[in-house]
Amino acid sequence: MARRRRPFWLMALLLLAGSGMAGVPQRVVSLDLCSDWILGEHADKGQVAGLSAMGQRFDARYGPASGWPSHDGSLEQVVALQPDLVLVGPYNASALRQRLQALGIRVEVTPLPTTLEQVAGFERQVLGLLGGDPSRAHPVLPMPALAADAPRLLVLGANGVGTGLQTFENEVIARAGWRNYLALPGYVRLDMEALVADPPDAILWAAPTSPAKANAFAGHRALLAVVPPPRWLKTDNWRWECPGPWTWSLVEQLQQWRNR
């Protein structure tokens, strides 16, 4: 068993020897889904040594089919990639990142944005870490005045849960000129009878399409009768998984739907 471990620890020592080199990182590794996406947005493909295994499962955009390298999430494989920068969010891969830091590998923990202003800060931070120009970050669009007759949008997720006030999604809705159908804060369990009696102007289905029981609420005939299919809006589900610069594209898409 000792013989099997020697190559890994020898590689770790070699990596430690070179980890102090300054300059633009050339072998960047991601440990979670949101870091995958921000690297896909701003890193050169040749600059990325490996995206996380999560990206392979949930998002074809940055998965193996699109040519991005990946890793299996093990300490051995991440170290074997010889990263000079590792990106991870605050709530992911804590044990792995601690072991990487103990080996002297540079790990940067990026915050999870909870507002669109924080999205811009997150983007500037990552651009700086990658050796890019932070001024390339998307500018924060002003919050429009909400019209009294603005249409009401329900952001509907799995298990009949809607997104209410005081959420990141609510800010996206407001920036696009819609009113949130829900007047309660947080994530709200919906009542079908109340929905049918007072339906929203449109529903944004923010969950992956599947025959799972969790999606049965959205397919209820009574709901489809009061909000017909043309008023069901659909976006790429990944845009709601992680806040990031792609969120501005979501705001623009919602604005276009509102104007229609």
For residue 124, give the CATH number of its domain: 3.40.50.1980
pLDDT at 7: 52
Q: pLDDT at residue 10 above 50?
A: no
**Lookup: tokens for 1:** 């068993």
Mean of pLDDT values over 106-130: 93
Please report whether residue 141 resides in a domain.
no
Last residue of a domain, one of 71, 103, 136: 136
pLDDT at 173: 94
pLDDT at 209: 62
250 and 171 housed in the same domain = yes
Q: Residue 169 gets which letter from DSSP? A: H
Last residue of a domain, one of 75, 105, 136: 136
Nearest in space to 170 (alpha carbons), one of 188, 182, 157, 158:
182
More confident call, 206 vs 128: 128
Considering its fold, how many domains does the chain have in total?
2
117 and 211 housed in the same domain = no
Distance CA 208, CA 215 (A): 9
161 and 250 housed in the same domain = yes
Distance CA 253, CA 259 (A): 10
248 and 159 housed in the same domain = yes
Please report whether residue 2 resides in a domain.
no
173 and 117 housed in the same domain = no
Please report whether residue 115 resides in a domain.
yes
Most confident of 64-78, 112-126, 231-245: 112-126
Q: How far is CA 78 from each of CA 27, 99, 144, 178, rounded to the nearest angstrom?
A: 11, 11, 45, 44
pLDDT at 6: 45
**Over the stretch 79-114, which tens digit does the pLDDT of each residue have?**
999 999 999 999 999 999 999 999 999 999 998 899
- Confidence band for 1, pLDDT divided at 50, 70 and 90: very low
194 and 92 housed in the same domain = no
Q: pLDDT at residue 13 above 90?
A: no
Residue 225 belongs to domain spanning: 152-259
Q: pLDDT at residue 160 above 60?
A: yes
Q: Facing residues of 108 across strands?
A: 87
42 and 86 housed in the same domain = yes
128 and 161 housed in the same domain = no
90 and 190 housed in the same domain = no
131 and 156 housed in the same domain = no
More confident call, 141 vs 99: 99
171 and 223 housed in the same domain = yes
Please report whether residue 91 resides in a domain.
yes
CB 203 within 8 Å of CB 232: yes
Please report whether residue 144 resides in a domain.
no
Q: pLDDT at residue 17 above 50?
A: no
Q: pLDDT at residue 37 above 80?
A: yes
DSSP the chain: -HHHHHHHHHHHHHHHHHTT--SS-SSEEE-SHHHHHHHHHHS-GGGEEEB-HHHHHH-GGGSGGGT--B--S-HHHHHHT--SEEEE-TTS-HHHHHHHHHTT--EEE----SSHHHHHHHHHHHHHHTTS-GGGSPPPPPPPPPPTTPPEEEEE-GGGEEE-BSSHHHHHHHHTTPEES--SBSEEE--HHHHHHS--SEEEE-S---S-GGGTGGG-HHHHHHS-GGGEEE--THHHHS-STTHHHHHHHHHHHHH-
Mean of pLDDT values over 33-40: 89
| Mean pLDDT estimate for the chain | 85
162 and 120 housed in the same domain = no
Q: pLDDT at residue 4 above 60?
A: no
**Lookup: tokens for 235:** 């976006």
Quickly count: other Cβ atoms within 10 Å of residue 178's Cβ: 26
pLDDT at 133: 92
Please report whether residue 4 resides in a domain.
no
- Confidence band for 118, pLDDT divided at 50, 70 and 90: very high
Last residue of a domain, one of 70, 102, 136: 136
CB 256 within 8 Å of CB 146: no
Please report whether residue 113 resides in a domain.
yes
More confident call, 129 vs 11: 129
pLDDT at 55: 65
Please report whether residue 145 resides in a domain.
no
**Over the stretch 207-236, which tens digit does the pLDDT of each residue have?**
666 667 778 888 899 999 999 988 999 877
DSSP 49-102: EEB-HHHHHH-GGGSGGGT--B--S-HHHHHHT--SEEEE-TTS-HHHHHHHHH
pLDDT at 54: 77
